[in-house]
Amino acid sequence: MANNTFTGSLPAYIGNLSTVLETFIADNNRITGSIPGTFANLTNLMTLSLSGNQLNGTIPTPIAAMSNLQELNLANNSLSGTIPAEISGLTSLAKLHLDSNRLVGPIPSSISNLSQIQIMTLSRNSLSSTIPTSLWRQRKLIELDLSQNSFSGSLPEDVGKLTAITEMDLSSNQLSGDIPTSFGALQMMINLNLSRNLLEGSIPDSLGKLLSIEELDFSSNALSGAIPKSLANLTYLANLNLSFNKLDGQIPEGGVFSNITLESLMGNSALCGLPREGISPCQNNSHSRSKQLLLKVILPAVVTLFVLSACVYMLVRRKLNKQGKMSLPSNTDLTNYQLISYHELVRATSNFSDDNLLGAGGFGKVFKGQLDDESVIAIKVLNMQDEVASKSFDTECRALRMARHRNLVRIISTCSNLDFKALVLEYMPNGSLDDWLHSSERRHISFLQRLGIMLDVAMAMEYLHHRHFEVVLHFDLKPSNILLDMDMTAHVADFGISKLLVGDDNSIVLTSMPGTVGYMAPEFGSSGKASRFSDVYSFGIVLLEVFTRKKPTDPMFAGELSLRQWVNQAFQYELSSVTDRGLLEDVPKHGMDKISNPSEDSSAILNACLASIIELGLVCSRTAPDERLPMDDVVVKLNKIKANY
């Protein structure tokens, strides 16, 4: 019911809906009035989302009885009152969105009972008091946004216990005291915003241990002392804002400080060492006059010499590039990659012999190679005759460099010159999912293996859509782009036509880059418009393919009949007629020991799980984008199916 123009209030008899209902979403309408407490009657509800309406009143306490609820989204309404302590009864809750309301008072200390919480957004309210210490013990918490409230008090060292946290925004509050050194223990942190508070003391040197950090904002506080040199060593730190504090001393060199602007440092009158941005150079008082004189005489000469040296360097580098030396693209950080020359790749692949060819398609060929240290790699060589090959190379470099997840193929190095471009990737010994499904050998792949692979893929896509600091759209998800390592763990590959999406959850992009027929979402193929839900469609088709072992481009799907239509027709009557018969081999292996009731039939459990999977595939591949599930919900459902098997 989301994204319509429904008006009026929610009736109390809404609690009389079927108790098997798992999802109730009515976001972005014009619904008014209060939230009925009778929602608590829907005991199997897993998602309750009413964001973007005109709801008022308080958060009803009866919802504490909804022990299966995993997501509660009441954001962007006009709810008032306090956060009820009874909310601690939502023991399965993973996502809590109460931002942009009129809530007051403290966060209840009973929040510690939400042991499964992963995302909590309470921003843009009038919440006050101190942040409860129990919140810092939520070890599964990934995102925390308490910005634009009136929280006070200091941050404890316990903040370092949030070891899974990737994003934390505590900006625009009244927090005081020092920045805890334990922040340095948060190795997964990508975005940390403590701006517009009353923090004082020095910036901890331990922040140099935040190896994944990309954005750091400490602006508009009362921080003093020098800027830690360790911040210059943070490879991925792209945005640093320290403006309007009381910092002093020399500005560090290198890293993020190489391109830092005056706006990021302004309001710190005692800083020195950045003449290019109008900040005075640092001086020794006893020699200040002589240094000023030397700078006036020598600096122009040094600049001239530097320019000449740079020109010579570029000429030499261009010559080396023509000989096949390593050249990383501008958006790739050299310190994170193994340096491999063109000549090493030639040796590793026996001069790109067809004996080492793993596959071809897209924008080039993929070879298996063995380096001098006996490590095995995959080399994706782009077809330079293809006009879009260079663009594909830069796109894939950016996507793979900025995205770090266990279910994404890892980039080891790149090699690029005027005539040759290649990506050096980790080698996947079990090939692609397409090989396992459709090779002439008809290799057996069990139900649990298929489910595990698709859960891996779902988690990778959830990361790209919802966890990455920029939304990455893959655009070409299909079995041949899903690679399997030694343990049959799936890794999503081939980001050659991926795009970065900027904006909110409903943003779309226009693109002329082609996907693959059979897997492209209808809106992508017809108008070039795509969103996160375009990837969800592709995932749904792949999910159906994996459990039917039928390609969407199979000759049987001619004319009006498609893979989805074929499965949907059977889903209503006889699902076994479309599912892969090889799955029946798993019934004895499932074993009665895994069934709580020994009298229960293993095949019934398998069939029930298959029905849930096929239904999920059909939902994900619906024609209308807004009727498909987001990838984070897909992960939740697949985990539930796996737990039930």
Q: Rounded CA gap, 340 and 18, in Å?
A: 61
| Bridge partners (DSSP) listed for residue 510 | 529
**Interaxial angle between packed helices 532-548 and 447-462, expressed in degrees from 0 to 180 and rounded to the nearest 10:** 170
State in Å, rounded, how far the first CA of the chain is from the last one: 31
Catalogue the E-assigned strands of 459-502.
471-473, 482-484, 490-492, 499-501
Q: Rounded CA gap, 503 and 399, in Å?
A: 17
Instruction: Answer yes or no: are the C-beta atoms of 613 and 517 closer than 8 Å.
Output: no
| Bridge partners (DSSP) listed for residue 143 | 119, 167
Q: Is 580 a catalytic residue?
A: no
What is the token pair recorded at 451?
């489910």
Q: Tell me which residue has tokens 């923090």.
A: 199
3-state secondary structure of 9: strand
Q: Rounded CA gap, 408 and 472, in Å?
A: 12
**Burial, 418: exposed, middle or buried (Cβ in 10 Å; 0-12, 13-18, 19+)?**
exposed
Instruction: Answer yes or no: are the C-beta atoms of 230 and 205 closer than 8 Å.
Output: yes
Helices (H) and strands (E) in the chain, counts: 11, 33
Taken in order 308, 314, 315, 317, the sign of the CA dihedral is positive
**Interaxial angle between packed helices 602-620 and 532-548, expressed in degrees from 0 to 180 and rounded to the nearest 10:** 150
Taken in order 230, 233, 234, 240, the sign of the CA dihedral is positive
Q: Rounded CA gap, 76 and 569, in Å?
A: 40
Q: Residue 407: name the closest of 467, 471, 455 by CA.
A: 455
Which entry of 476, 494, 586, 632 is annotated as an active-site residue? 476
Q: Residue 477: name the closest of 418, 517, 432, 519 by CA.
A: 519
Chain centroid to CA 128: 31
Q: Rounded CA gap, 281 and 299, in Å?
A: 12
CA 606 vs CA 152, 433, 510, 543, 574: distances in Å: 53, 22, 41, 16, 15
3-state secondary structure of 11: coil
What is the token pair recorded at 250?
């020399």
- Angle (nearest 5°) at CA 339 between 336 and 343: 155
| Bridge partners (DSSP) listed for residue 279 | 274
Taking CB atoms within 8 Å and a gap of at least 24, the contacts of 265-272 are 267/243, 268/242, 268/243, 268/244, 270/246, 271/227, 271/247
Q: Rounded CA gap, 517 and 476, in Å?
A: 10
Helices (H), 72-173: none
Any known ligand binding at 319?
Answer: no
Per DSSP, the residues of 107-135 read PPGGGGG-TT--EEE--SSEEEEEPPGGG
Binding positions: 380
Active-site residues, by number, are 476
Binding positions for ATP: 380
